[in-house]
Amino acid sequence: MVDEAVAAVEGGVPTDASSPRIVLAKPGDEPALSAHEPMYFVLGHDSDRGTDARFQISFKYRLFDPEGFIGGFSPLLSNLYFTYTQTSLWDMGEDSSPFRDTSYRPGLFYQWAGGESLPLPTEWRAGIEHESNGRNEPDSRSIDTAYLIPVWHWDMPKSRRLTFAPKIIHYMDKHENRDIQRYRGYVDWNLRYGREDGLMWRGLYRQGTGGYASGQLDVSYPISERIFARTGSFIHLQVFSGYGETLLEYDRDRETQIRLGISIAR
């Protein structure tokens, strides 16, 4: 799911407040290197494999600093980010404790502001992403996608915020998983609700064109002071149900997985 918008200053000719506009990053808004998707380590139990773990690391990096040579020469480039996310399933209960599968997701996205009033999105992201499990045939799986994410934020009572960020996907290359849209569909429906200094809920739902679906719920609560906006130490509960917990198993339905652990970014 998309995190909070980069704080920004408007550049160029003034525009109508309700129309989309390019907004430039400014020095000090956000570290050049920051969390992208949640980062966690959670443990659960599988009836077939015993104890298993799932963990994820994810970051984004602003390629051109607003005060750097390139960012100063072309300020619009300061909104361009490189991303990397890695998600692994680890069968700790099996002999030799093998990794069942790992997905590697490098990508690029560009971010800009939307309208300041509903119903227009608060911000937008457009990007490309490669996802692969890094294996040889016959277990090799990879897809290349382009995506567009409109983001709506609603500030709620008691400092809570609701964020709706559907990720609209176009498959550019899926020759190793030609029917993946039947299981993943073309939209990741993402919701995020809660307080940055309190309880936070995240939901993901995918509806495939073949009638197959999957869902994931993440619930986290801080157990230490925050370091940055979304970074600290959190107790983390994760529930996954449906198809495609890994890229290798995109067309397989497993029992509902309930895992508990720690996250450092949410």
Domain ranges of the chain: 8-265
Name the 3-class secondary structure at 70. Answer: helix
Alpha-carbon gap, residue 165 to 2, rounded angstroms: 6
Q: Tell me the percentage of the chain whose pLDDT exceeds 90.
A: 62
User: At 11, is the pLDDT very low, low, confident or very high (cuts 50, 70, 90)?
Assistant: very low
pLDDT for the residue numbered 37: 96
Q: Tell me the percentage of the chain whose pLDDT exceeds 70.
A: 87
Q: Tell how many helices (H) and how many strands (E) occur in the chain.
A: 2, 16
pLDDT for the residue numbered 78: 87
| DSSP β-bridge partners for residue 129 | 107, 145
Alpha-carbon gap, residue 239 to 76, rounded angstroms: 39
Identify which has the larger pLDDT, 42 or 245: 42
Alpha-carbon gap, residue 187 to 168, rounded angstroms: 5
Whole-model pTM: value is 0.86
Q: Taking all residues of the chain, what is their mean pLDDT, rounded to a whole number? A: 87
CATH number of 8-265: 2.40.230.10
pLDDT for the residue numbered 146: 98
Residue 258, classified by CB atoms within 10 Å of its CB into exposed (0-12), middle (13-18) or buried (19+), is middle
Residue 76 is given by DSSP the state G
User: At 264, is the pLDDT very low, low, confident or very high (cuts 50, 70, 90)?
Assistant: very high
Measured on CA atoms in the order 104, 243, 147, 155, is the torsion positive or negative? negative
The predicted model gives 86-113 an average pLDDT of: 89
Distances (CA, A) of 228 to 4, 39, 151, 231: 12, 14, 21, 5
User: At 188, is the pLDDT very low, low, confident or very high (cuts 50, 70, 90)?
Assistant: very high
Given a cut of 50, whether residue 2 has pLDDT beyond it is no
The predicted model gives 161-168 an average pLDDT of: 98
Q: What is the pLDDT of residues 52-99, one digit of tens each?
A: 999 999 999 999 887 777 767 777 888 999 999 999 999 887 777 788
Alpha-carbon gap, residue 45 to 147, rounded angstroms: 34
User: At 114, is the pLDDT very low, low, confident or very high (cuts 50, 70, 90)?
Assistant: confident
Identify which has the larger pLDDT, 44 or 65: 44
